[in-house]
Structure 1
Amino acid sequence: MSRHPSRLLRRPLAAALLVAIVAPGAAFAQTAREKALEARVAELERQVQMLVSAQQQQQSQITTTQEQVAQVQTAQAAAPAVAAVPAGKQPIQSTTITPAGNPGSVFTYGGFIKLDAMVTDTSDGRIADGSSGRMFYVPSTIPVGGAGADGGDPYTDFHAQFSRFWLSADHVTEGGDKLKGYVEMDFFGGGSNALAGNEVATNTYAVTLRQAYVSWNNWLAGQTWSNFQDVAALPDAVDFVGVTDGTVFVRQAQVRYSNGPWSVALENPNTTVQAYAPNAATAGARTTTGDNNVPDLTGRYNMKGDWGHLSVAGMLRQFKAGDNTDSGGAVSVSGKFNVGASDDIRYMANYGSGIGRYMAFGLGSDVMQDASGDIEALDGWGGFVAWRHVFSPKLRTNLMYSMASFDNDVGLVGWGVTERSQSYHANLIYSPFPKLDIGAEIGWGQRSLEDDREGDLKRFHTSVKYSF
């Protein structure tokens, strides 16, 4: 079948027109799609960039946190260990305990609780109830009654007056200067109200100042142990001191300078005076005066080593009663010598003109008085030796001997003054737990007058002491 030529010619023309019409639309559609894709790609790139930036910021924060944690761990490792706070408990102190002190000061607190219980038997009368001699060994309180004197039955005393506490604030400045404030107290100070200070009801006793001083670098000012006393040489006694007779024992206000093994101090002066009582059978009155206008001058040199320590001290004093004056001086040698790992020997030897109030709790006077009121320094000497043996970390023992003697002029002060005293002590101290000491000590003491009358003391002393 044949077709018409004109119809054949219209088909290619229609196709060409169709292509001409559709092609621009297709090109336009392609361009719009590309733009949409480009927009989406740009958005994705922006989001990716934000994610990368956020990740970098998180990584920086993680690194900073890790550095801070490392710093805290380092500080904790260098700091002293402290007890962990129990679960559910919060610290009771959120600010410094010394708000009025220097920033960064270190505050410390300590002390001990001690019960003393003793049975005493004296040959020539009883020691007065409530006196210091009922609380610990004080040679001057031993009664000396002469012929026919009788101490009666033994007597018992319990007390906790030597319990003690102390407070300390230490500070180091940016320049390296060291400052320290220290206060120490016990309860051996009598009562503060009508029912206090006795054994009737409350047994209440007042707080007593023992030490109170400030130190900065090499200087010290305040009340503390005399520079003439070697506290490190004192034995391990159940009694308050034990070797009282021959011990230098004074706490008083002073200004002290220390440099290495050397120390020198100006200390509070005071004079004890034995009244004029020529050839009397009983001692005359003893008085104390604060008339001195020159402080006591003391100096000390210490040597230390694995073998122990040795200390040499000297003292110069002025004595004054009214317008009458005299002067004197004294020396003391003391220390501790280690004998192996379990034993040591402790000792002290003292001699001086006017050493009276510095030794044996003032057993002798500093000066004697004549008929005109003039004063003369009294010579005295004394010392102790003590052996300490450690059986085990929980058990130790101490054996002690102590003595003191004075060269009284009986033509001035009579026959009734103390010429000498001596004592022996032996103890066992058991520590079932750290810082807890349970001790038992037997002691014998004797005081002799210039006329050879004597009085004896026998005592069994026990104690329980917990240090904190």
Structure 2
Amino acid sequence: MQTEFRAGRRRPLAMALFVALLAPGVALAGTAKEQELETRVAQLEAQVQALLAAQQQAQAQIADTKTQLDAVDARHPAPPAGKQPIQSTAINASANPNTTFSYGGFIKLDAMATDTSDGRIADGSAGRLFYLPSQIPVGDANADGGDPYTDVHAQFSRFWFSADTVTDGGDKLKAYIEADMYGGGSNALAGNETSTNTYALTLRQAYVSWNDWLAGQTWSNFQDVAALPDAVDFVGPTDGTIFVRQAQLRYSKGPWSFSAENPQTTVTSYLGASRFNSGDNVLPDFTGRWTAKGGWGHFSVAALLRQFKYGDETGSGAAVSVSGKFNLGANDDIRYMANAGSGIGRYMAFGLGTDAVLDADGELHALDGYGGFVAWRHAFNPKLRGNLYYSAALFDNDPSLIGYGATERAQSLHANLIFSPIPKLDVGAELTWGQRSLEDDREGDLKRIQTTVKYSF
């Protein structure tokens, strides 16, 4: 029994010794895990601090970049809404600030076969390059034009340059110059078809405009360029068209425009012995125009006042022109022009008639003339379009002054098709019939088929 008692006392003692021996190990184990956790926490804190520093550096770089972009935007403000210009700053160093420079034009190849009833149009003359009614040959009853003849050229290829400026005060300035190669060459090998087909540069337009004012050479204010039909020929309805480019001073405001233009008097001598130009004018030619525009098209009325002068002799004339374009829908439009006046000669049909006639005493008499055209344009689809137009001119001659060999009238009929396989590229063909009639009832006819390839840029 004593033995059992001693054994019972030993068990708690052994347990106490076991716990005493185990406690330091448990304590040591807990300390190692805590140290490992503390190490991991320290590493995570270091990584978080590095990420925060990188983010702050990136934000600083973004802010610096934005500041630089804002500075660039301030120096080069964004262009207005709409079609944006390719060029944002001036490339011509000598120009005014805020000037933009642009250029354009087209390359045009013309090929035509012509058949005239009463003789051949002289080789190298303007009538071989485009429809010019004054050069249709008119002969007697036995006249014969012979076989058809062909001409191929690229003289009407064109280019232009423009410098446009808007000042800080809102003033608009424009300088414009335009040229083509129609006008002949300057040496024996130029301007002919023998070897080089070289042709001289020809000034078409050169002017400067300031807000509502224009000074320089451009289309006459008496001409409505927007009414011209879509032609394969250089002009098309030449007979009844007002067609003049010349130096002038013009003022335009709203629908109104007024001009003082270069004067020149074309004269037929007594009984039509000769035709010549007189540079004796003192007063300019004065014009005025009113134009209304809308989604329906446009309508325009113009007036012309002129002085004629040859030597000590003077005269005067006046003319009116009504023109426009009327849209018949998305695919059709009508274009027209009607002209009438005393002394309208050099303004209509490339000078088919003269401005004035001299009598036997050397006095000037204004020549009355009338003309016009009407054209229908139809778009078959976005790539194919066609035009049909008729044009005519008539002069009220006095045969006792001008003779019976003067042109009494001219007329022409045209039909064309123009195909645009890609934008700005036109491939077209046009049939033309023209006729010129004299006061003695003689007539000469012209038949022509003309093709063209034209690329605008």
TM-score by length of 1: 0.83
Q: Specify the code of the residue in structure 2 equivalent to 1:251.
A: R
Q: Specify the code of the residue in structure 2 equivalent to 1:64.
A: D
Partner SS state of residue 66, structure 1: helix
Residue pair 2:343, 2:355 contacting (<8 A) in 1 also: yes
Q: Which runs of 5+ in 2 are unaligned?
A: 1-51
Partner SS state of residue 419, structure 1: strand
1:386, 1:255 → 2: CA distance? 31
Aligned counterpart for 2:252 among listed residues 254, 258, 269:
258
Q: Which residue of 1 aligns with 2:312?
A: 323
- Corresponding position: 1:456 with 2:445: yes
Residue pair 2:89, 2:98 contacting (<8 A) in 1 also: no
Partner SS state of residue 183, structure 2: coil
Aligned counterpart for 1:309 among listed residues 298, 320, 328:
298
1:340, CA displacement in angstroms?
Answer: 1.0
Report the CA distance shift for 1:78/1:217 in structure 2 as closer, same or farther (over 3 A).
closer
2:226, 2:288 → 1: CA distance? 16
1:441, 1:410 → 2: CA distance? 36
1:127, 1:169 → 2: CA distance? 41
Q: Which residue of 1 aligns with 2:63?
A: 63
Q: What CA deviation, in whole Å up to 9, does each residue of 1:317-342 have, x standing for no partner? A: 00001100000100000000000110
1:366, 1:438 → 2: CA distance? 38
Q: Which runs of 5+ in 1 are unaligned?
A: 1-51, 84-92, 278-282
1:220, 1:76 → 2: CA distance? 29
Q: Which residue of 2 aligns with 1:29?
A: none
Partner SS state of residue 248, structure 1: coil
Q: Which residue of 2 aligns with 1:466?
A: 455
Partner SS state of residue 412, structure 1: helix
2:350, 2:302 → 1: CA distance? 18
Aligned counterpart for 2:395 among listed residues 397, 406, 427:
406
Report the CA distance shift for 1:349/1:163 in structure 2 as closer, same or farther (over 3 A).
same
1:284, CA displacement in angstroms?
Answer: 1.8
Q: Indicate the RMSD between aligned Cα atoms, in angstroms.
A: 2.3
2:424, 2:55 → 1: CA distance? 58
1:450, 1:398 → 2: CA distance? 32
Q: Which residue of 2 aligns with 1:10?
A: none
Q: Which residue of 1 aligns with 2:413?
A: 424
Report the CA distance shift for 1:114/1:55 in structure 2 as closer, same or farther (over 3 A).
closer
1:62, CA displacement in angstroms?
Answer: 3.5
Q: Specify the code of the residue in structure 2 equivalent to 1:270.
A: Q
Residue pair 2:90, 2:100 contacting (<8 A) in 1 also: no
Q: Which residue of 2 aligns with 1:235?
A: 229
Please list, as runs of the form range in 1=range in 2, the aligned pairs for 1:177-326 lying within 5 A after superposition. 177-277=171-271, 283-326=272-315
- Corresponding position: 1:375 with 2:375: no
Report the CA distance shift for 1:246/1:121 in structure 2 as closer, same or farther (over 3 A).
same
- Corresponding position: 1:332 with 2:321: yes
Q: Which residue of 2 aligns with 1:141?
A: 135
Q: What CA deviation, in whole Å up to 9, does each residue of 1:182-226 have, x standing for no partner? A: 000000010022200000000000000000000000000000000
Please list, as runs of the form range in 1=range in 2, the aligned pairs for 1:333-372 lying within 5 A after superposition. 333-372=322-361
Using the aligned pairs only, state the percent identity. 72
Q: What CA deviation, in whole Å up to 9, does each residue of 1:372-398 have, x standing for no partner? A: 110000000000000000001100000
2:374, 2:285 → 1: CA distance? 27
1:175, 1:78 → 2: CA distance? 17
Partner SS state of residue 108, structure 2: strand
TM-score by length of 2: 0.85
Runs of 4+ aligned residues of structure 1 deviating over 4 Å after TM superposition are: 52-61, 70-83, 93-96
Q: Specify the code of the residue in structure 1 equivalent to 2:436.
A: R
Q: Which residue of 2 aligns with 1:389?
A: 378
2:62, 2:452 → 1: CA distance? 61
Report the CA distance shift for 1:265/1:76 in structure 2 as closer, same or farther (over 3 A).
closer
